[in-house]
Amino acid sequence: MSRRETEKYIRAGKISVNGEIVKDLGRQIDPTTDKVKIIGVKIGGLGEKETVIINKPRGIVSSRIKSEGKTVYDLFPQYKHLHIAGRLDKDSEGLLLLTNDGVLAKKLTSEAHVVEKEYRVFVREAVRPNVLSIMSRGMRLPDGMTLPAKTKRTGAHEFTITLVEGRNHQIRRMADAVHLTVGRLVRVRIGPLTLGTLKSGEARTLSKGEVALLKKP
């Protein structure tokens, strides 16, 4: 459905979100939770399915809340109709996905699905093998034990870590627990999808093939 057609139905009072008739043409929906109906027929979302990969710069907020700072939607206003599928901390950078595909969003964010997320971590202190071993096995944090992770030393002050869970500030807290100070944190992969040659502050639309790979069990 085109944007013009959508606006026509809204003006006619024939589109509802979660049982409530939509009156605001600028109404935003969350494809992972909102139930949208048009003339009594349930649909997954308005318009064509679209998923965008962004290389988020440090200092940009993964949110619509402007009070927290400059947001990804300020950086890419053309994608305001899309929703963030897996936040990235303000002080972190790298791979971020925006989508209006509810099936994909649920796959990437639901605890019921295991999706690997890989990060490059740059620290001030020297990276010792025993430290990475501790992080790999799982660590006790104030909010409980972390799941086992994959780690690899890639430099004197650099390593990669692959997680299958997404706790708040998890990598920074894990590093702090083994006396490492994170200076830079970059997400480089989600499932089979990597940043590739995408530069910081750039974005591109994923192909249908890339989306299909992300959806695979």
From 30, 34, 74, 89, the catalytic residue = 89
Both tokens assigned to 159:
């390593």
Count of CB atoms situated within 10 Å of the CB of 17: 16
Residues 179 and 125: beta-carbon distance below 8 Å: yes
89 is catalytic: yes
Cα 123 from Cα 162, distance rounded (Å): 16
Residues 43 and 37: beta-carbon distance below 8 Å: yes
Backbone angles phi, psi at 186, to 5 degrees: -125, 120
Per DSSP, the three-state class of 178 is coil
Count of CB atoms situated within 10 Å of the CB of 164: 14
Listed in sequence order, the residues at least 6 apart from 155 whose beta carbon sits closer than 8 Å to its beta carbon are 127
Distance of CA 20 to the CA centre of its chain: 28
Q: Catalytic site residues?
A: 89
